[in-house]
Amino acid sequence: MMNKRATLFLFLPVVCLLLSSSALAQLKVVTTLTDLQSITSLIGGDKVDVFAIATGYQNPHFVDPKPSYILKLSRADVFVTVGLDLEIGWVPPLLNSARNSKIQKGGDGYVDASVNIPLLQVPTSASRGQGDIHVFGNPHYWLDPQNGKIIAKNIFDALVRVDPDRRSFYEANLKKFNETIDAKTREWTEKLRPYAGTKVIAYHNEWPYFEQRFGLQIVDFLEPKPGIPPTPSQLLKVINEMKRDHIKIIIISPYFTTESADMVARNAGGKVVTIATSVGANEKIKTYYDLFEYNISQLIEALR
Ligand SMILES: [Zn+2]
């Protein structure tokens, strides 16, 4: 017994040293969403320790800025945000409180993942409706896997700025990510091809990028405007559209209550399909790749 304990005390400092040196070598990355976390992990591998602020089953527009996130941000080497005001209610106060110049806008560790994304639904001042929370264009761009490659490049650039010695490691991972996304996109597109042009209804306007990539046609929303909860007149309008155009599917994200969607589906003879907007929406979705695998299988099951 004494021997064992003595051995433990002898080796403890060595173990601590080993742990702290490997921890020091890892870059600390904070991302707003789990999707950005997954892509960062795929590019950074074991050289990054990535924390996501929002969970995969939370509405990314509305996240409570807790003090524990400020601590994480104050120690971060890299920060990755969706941008386009998706996180307007919670990222600015967190970044201000974190007082970490490395990850402020313009800092080497700051990543606006929307840079170079071909944006959809950029409002003109004439079309900008009151209460609309998509003020700079639709911010749900990560739901097209091909945009994942642009996000990955933006993250890669920051990792190289902060950690130039490991450029070739990050470069190899980026290449592998791009190849995997291309191969899988072809597979996913093929699976959904028989349903191209199928009209569906969505709760929130989160799907234009997904729709464009995979050929579905989202014709209306339960929300009268992005961020404005469903109103009786909007729901009635949708019921009539569904009946008129024989629309059978309403897609909804995990963070919305299903009551209004259920009511519309009952009245119009359709069904509600919950699909994920982020990694971690449920236990099956562990990576950015899984997000599409899951959504496409859910949709095919419903459309069949
Ligand atoms: Zn939105």
Question: What's this model's pTM, rounded to 2 decimal places?
Answer: 0.90
64 CA → ligand 1 middle, Å: 16
Average pLDDT over residues 171-187: 98
Q: Which CATH superfamily is 187-303 part of?
A: Nitrogenase molybdenum iron protein domain (3.40.50.1980)
Backbone angles phi, psi at 48, to 5 degrees: -125, 150
Q: Beta 217-221 vs 199-202: how paired, if at all?
A: parallel
Task: Provide the pLDDT confidence category of residue 204 given band limits of 50, 70 and 90.
Answer: very high
160 CA → ligand 1 middle, Å: 31
85 CA → ligand 1 middle, Å: 10
Q: Which CATH superfamily is 21-116+136-183 part of?
A: Nitrogenase molybdenum iron protein domain (3.40.50.1980)
Q: In Å, what is the CA distance from 58 to each residue of 27, 53, 54, 267?
A: 26, 10, 6, 28
pLDDT for the residue 68? 96
Q: What is the pLDDT of residues 131-174, one digit of tens each?
A: 678 889 999 999 999 999 999 999 999 999 999 999 999 999 99
298 CA → ligand 1 middle, Å: 21
Residues in the chain: 304
Residues 162/107/66/280 CA torsion (nearest 10 deg): -50
The segment(s) of the chain belonging to CATH 3.40.50.1980 are: 21-116+136-183, 187-303
pLDDT for the residue 1? 46
137 CA → ligand 1 middle, Å: 10
Task: Provide the pLDDT confidence category of residue 243 given band limits of 50, 70 and 90.
Answer: very high
206 CA → ligand 1 middle, Å: 5
Distance CA 253, CA 206 (A): 9
- Which single residue is written with the structure tokens 């106060």? 93
What is the Cα Rg of the chain in Å?
22
pLDDT for the residue 304? 87
Q: What is the pLDDT of residues 85-98, one digit of tens each?
A: 999 999 999 999 99
Distance CA 4, CA 19 (A): 21
Distance CA 15, CA 284 (A): 35
Q: What is the pLDDT of residues 28-63, one digit of tens each?
A: 999 999 999 999 999 999 999 999 999 999 999 999
Per the prediction, the chain carries an average pLDDT of 92
276 CA → ligand 1 middle, Å: 13
